[in-house]
């Protein structure tokens, strides 16, 4: 028999399409997750570059601007800064979700996936899971960087881990925003360019680097309640102490809201992408 | 009732104001090759995308192996393999990883995936490059992997969307041999191409597509009879000698020769015999040509014959089709005589002709 072994099956006109089980969908998502992570093994510099930018921010704010920034409660600025840096790192890192999906749209890989009998959800869940995995690694490395520049957890190890989990929850939700952006734009360079105007106001007009109370009053409303700030505040409270629950609930609400809005949008765009 | 492997009825698809498919109909019997021939933007790729369940049609009806591409899309996806410009491989994965990923997503049994990937890599002469990232592959290797990816799950119906566009002659000839083998094994192939030559060599039937409509649908022989024949261009050293050659040929060869400066051009449906006759005649009169070109009718010629106007493809593409036509002809005259070799030992032809990269690779490994 020849290698290709193509067999012509008899056409059956009225057979129902085979039902797909959730297990099969999970297997497909797992396969796509693995595929998306291989790139970091193959091109490790990608991971290094993901880290360069947050490390520059840490050094800049810890040693250059930090001295001029007054934070309430008399806590050291580095302790105020690092929880915000964790959130900022994953927020900017979510750009990778947009670039990854836009690359797949442009290369035609999504078309091949569309033509395969795989779960429709797998490309998106596989992409966001891979980015979540990358974020686990990046946040862990940033925690090490934080300790090296003098960051100390004021509460306890359990609450620190809880804070990291909040960061990862936020990272996952943000991936869905940028999955939508990536599929919508469909070109990696443009997608990258498009993410900055979205991210800049969220990250800089926030409590990540400076207390919101130092901003003009017209900006304070946005800067207090937008998702990056409430998440940074929740993580800060978990790691340094202070009132936690309200920020935590606001952060969870934001993340749930983002996923509820963006996931269906991204799925619609994925079905249309070609 | 569902005796056709592919059945398309009144299919339409619009993008904004442009009718990419303006009501096309065709049927492809199982085990045959159907060629969709047309310039860029004619609607070939849109047709493939609809049949491969990537795009939803606006109207009409399409079936693959008896399954409706809209209502039974999942069932259709179990029957098809897609390669060419509508599909891609992941440049960051190795060749083997790409094929294994496709196998898993095509719902093959886990233990069958890796052996199948290795088998296809060997068949497409990519075993040596199996564990290298695809970004290091040459264009020809990448295209072979792309076709291999379409075959992983052994689908009975294959969509090859311009599988050889942009390939060099050697890679193209190799790929043609592979496609012939697949058909010999019983696959049904829908092939889109901008090259008349390619459709002619591979397809049992050819549909010429223009502006989302099928303007001709026939066997390649019947279609070629309608089209302009082989073009023979003879360049002489001087206009005077060209004039003498022209006069000679007007009297001896039936098809009207035309003279343009030092060039005499004639078109014939019996290219080879016309060429022999022409050269004999010139030789007998001591008129040795300075240059000699023989080319098959290009897609442009075909369009001119079928639609009465030139093919409206992108400028680059038209140029491409042209030069490519000329290229292949140079090669066709040489390899046509040995055409049996392509059919009989196609596999070996692929292996042998892809030798240079793999040989150097082996050398590197050995070092």
Q: Does any domain span residue B207?
A: yes
For residue range A106-154, what is the model confidence (pLDDT) as tens digits? Answer: 888 988 999 999 988 899 999 999 999 999 999 999 999 999 999 999 9
Residue B307 is predicted with a pLDDT of 66
Q: Does any domain span residue B367?
A: no
Same domain, B209 and B233: no
Same domain, B111 and B206: yes
Interface ipTM: 0.84
Q: How confident is the model at residue B294 (pLDDT cuts 50, 70, 90)?
A: confident
Q: Note which residues in 138-197 of chain B have CB less than 8 A from chain A.
A: 149, 151, 154-156, 159, 181-182, 185-188
Q: What residues of B are in contact with residue A28 (Cβ under 8 Å)?
A: 104-105
Q: What is the CATH number of the domain that holds B51?
A: 3.40.50.300
Annotate chain A with three-state secondary structure: CCCCCCCCCCCCCCCCCCCCCHHHHHHHHHHHHHHHHHHHHHCCHHHHHHHHHHHHHHHHHHHHHHHHCCCHHHCCHHHHHHHHHHHHHHHHHCHHHHHHHHHHHHHCHHHHHHCCCCCCCHHHHHHHHHHHHHHHHHHHHHHHHHHHCCCCCCCCHHHHHHHHHHHHHHHHHHHHHHHHHHHHHCCHHHHHHHHHHHHHHHHHCCCCCCCHHHCCHHHHHHHHHCHHHHHHHHHHHHHHCCCCHHHHHHHHHHHHHHHHHHHHHHHHHHHHCC
Please identify, among B192, B225, B258, the residue that sits at the C-terminal boundary of a domain: B225
For residue range B61-87, what is the model confidence (pLDDT) as tens digits? Answer: 999 999 999 999 999 999 999 998 766
Asked if B108 is an interface residue toward chain A (Cβ–Cβ < 8 A), one would say: no
Q: How confident is the model at residue B303 (pLDDT cuts 50, 70, 90)?
A: low
- B186/A113 CB distance under 8 A: no
Please identify, among B193, B225, B257, the residue that sits at the C-terminal boundary of a domain: B225
State how many domains chain B has: 2
Q: How confident is the model at residue B228 (pLDDT cuts 50, 70, 90)?
A: low
Same domain, B208 and B300: no
Q: Does any domain span residue B69?
A: yes
Answering whether pTM is above 0.90, one says no
Q: Does any domain span residue B87?
A: yes
**What mean pLDDT comes out for the span B266-290?**
82
Q: What is the CATH number of the domain that holds B261?
A: 3.30.70.860
Q: Does any domain span residue B251?
A: yes
Same domain, B208 and B112: yes
Q: Does any domain span residue B29?
A: yes
For residue range B95-151, what is the model confidence (pLDDT) as tens digits? Answer: 999 999 999 999 999 899 999 999 999 989 899 999 999 999 988 889 889 999 999
Q: Does any domain span residue B103?
A: yes
Same domain, B134 and B258: no
- B54/A111 CB distance under 8 A: yes
Q: What residues of B are in contact with residue A16 (Cβ under 8 Å)?
A: 72, 75
- The count of residues in chain A is 274
pLDDT at B333 over 50: no
Same domain, B213 and B248: no
Residue B305 is predicted with a pLDDT of 65
A31, A39, A274: residue with CB nearest B49:
A274
Same domain, B54 and B145: yes
Same domain, B63 and B119: yes
Same domain, B211 and B251: no
pLDDT by 10s per residue, chain A, length 274? 333 444 444 444 334 445 567 888 899 999 999 999 998 888 888 888 888 889 999 999 999 998 888 888 888 999 999 999 999 999 998 999 999 999 998 888 988 999 999 988 899 999 999 999 999 999 999 999 999 999 999 999 999 999 999 999 999 999 999 999 999 998 999 998 988 888 999 999 999 999 998 899 999 999 999 999 999 999 999 999 888 899 999 999 999 999 999 999 998 898 876 5
Domain carrying residue B248: 229-339
Same domain, B192 and B273: no
Return the higher-pLDDT residue of B299 and B276. B276
Same domain, B319 and B264: yes
Longest Cα–Cα distance in chain B? 74
Mean pLDDT of the residues in chain B? 79
Q: Note which residues in 16-55 of chain A have CB less than 8 A from chain B.
A: 16-18, 20, 24, 27-28, 31-32, 35, 38-39, 42-43
Same domain, B20 and B164: yes
């Amino acid at each position: 028999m020849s290698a290709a072994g193509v067999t012509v099956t008899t056409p059956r006109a009225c057979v129902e399409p085979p039902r797909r089980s959730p297990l099969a969908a999970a297997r497909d998502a797992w396969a796509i997750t693995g595929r998306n992570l291989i790139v970091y093994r193959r091109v490790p510099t990608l991971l290094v570059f993901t880290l360069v930018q947050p490390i520059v921010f840490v050094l800049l704010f810890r040693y250059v601007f930090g001295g001029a920034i007054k934070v309430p409660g008399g806590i050291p600025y580095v302790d105020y800064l690092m929880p915000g840096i964790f959130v900022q790192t994953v927020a900017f890192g979510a750009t990778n979700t947009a670039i990854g999906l836009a690359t797949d749209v442009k290369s035609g890989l999504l078309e091949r996936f569309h033509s395969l009998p795989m779960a429709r959800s797998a490309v998106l869940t596989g992409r966001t899971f891979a980015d979540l995995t990358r974020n686990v690694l990046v946040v862990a490395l940033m925690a090490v960087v934080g300790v090296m520049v003098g960051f100390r957890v004021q509460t306890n190890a359990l609450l620190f881990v809880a804070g990291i989990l909040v960061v990862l929850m936020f990272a996952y939700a943000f991936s869905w925003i940028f999955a939508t952006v990536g599929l919508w734009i469909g070109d990696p360079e443009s997608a990258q360019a498009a993410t900055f105007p979205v991210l800049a106001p969220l990250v800089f007009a926030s409590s990540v680097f400076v207390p919101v109370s130092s901003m003009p009053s017209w900006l304070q409303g946005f800067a207090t309640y937008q998702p990056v700030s409430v998440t940074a505040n929740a993580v800060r409270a978990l790691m340094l102490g202070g009132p936690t629950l309200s920020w935590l609930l606001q952060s969870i609400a934001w993340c749930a809201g983002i996923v509820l809005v963006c996931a269906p949008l991204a799925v619609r765009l994925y079905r249309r992408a070609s | 009732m569902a005796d056709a492997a592919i059945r398309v009825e009144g299919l339409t698809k619009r993008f904004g104001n442009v009718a990419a498919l303006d009501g096309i109909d065709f049927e492809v019997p199982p085990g045959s090759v159907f060629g969709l021939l047309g310039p860029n933007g004619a609607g070939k790729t849109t047709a493939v995308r609809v049949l491969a369940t990537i795009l939803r049609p606006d109207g009409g009806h399409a079936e693959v192996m008896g399954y409706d591409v809209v209502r039974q899309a999942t069932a259709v996806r179990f029957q098809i393999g897609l390669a060419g410009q509508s599909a891609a491989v992941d440049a960051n994965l190795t060749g083997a990883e790409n094929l294994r990923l496709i196998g898993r997503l095509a719902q093959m049994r886990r233990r069958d995936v890796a052996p199948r990937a290795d088998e296809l890599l060997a068949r497409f002469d990519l075993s040596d490059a199996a564990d290298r990232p695809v970004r290091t592959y040459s264009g020809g290797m990448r295209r072979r992997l792309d076709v291999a990816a379409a075959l992983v799950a052994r689908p009975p119906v294959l969509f090859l969307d311009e599988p050889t566009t942009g390939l060099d002659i050697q890679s193209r000839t190799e790929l043609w041999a592979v496609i012939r083998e697949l058909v010999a094994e019983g696959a049904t192939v829908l092939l889109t191409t901008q090259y008349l030559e390619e459709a002619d060599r591979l397809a049992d039937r050819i549909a010429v597509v223009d502006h989302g409509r099928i303007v001709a649908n026939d066997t390649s022989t019947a279609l070629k009879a309608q089209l302009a024949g082989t073009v023979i261009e003879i360049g002489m050293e001087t206009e005077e000698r060209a004039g003498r050659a022209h006069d000679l040929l007007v009297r001896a060869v039936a098809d009207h020769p035309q003279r343009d400066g030092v060039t005499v051009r004639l078109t014939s449906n019996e290219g080879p015999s016309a060429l022999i006759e022409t050269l004999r005649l010139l030789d007998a009169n001591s008129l040795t040509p300075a240059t000699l070109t023989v080319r098959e009718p290009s897609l442009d010629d075909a369009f001119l014959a079928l639609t009465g106007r030139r093919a409206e493809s992108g400028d680059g593409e038209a140029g491409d089709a042209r030069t490519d036509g000329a290229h292949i002809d140079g090669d066709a005259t040489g390899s046509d005589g040995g055409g049996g070799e392509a059919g009989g030992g196609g596999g070996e032809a692929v292996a042998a002709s892809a030798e240079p990269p793999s040989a150097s690779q082996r050398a590197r490994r050995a070092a």
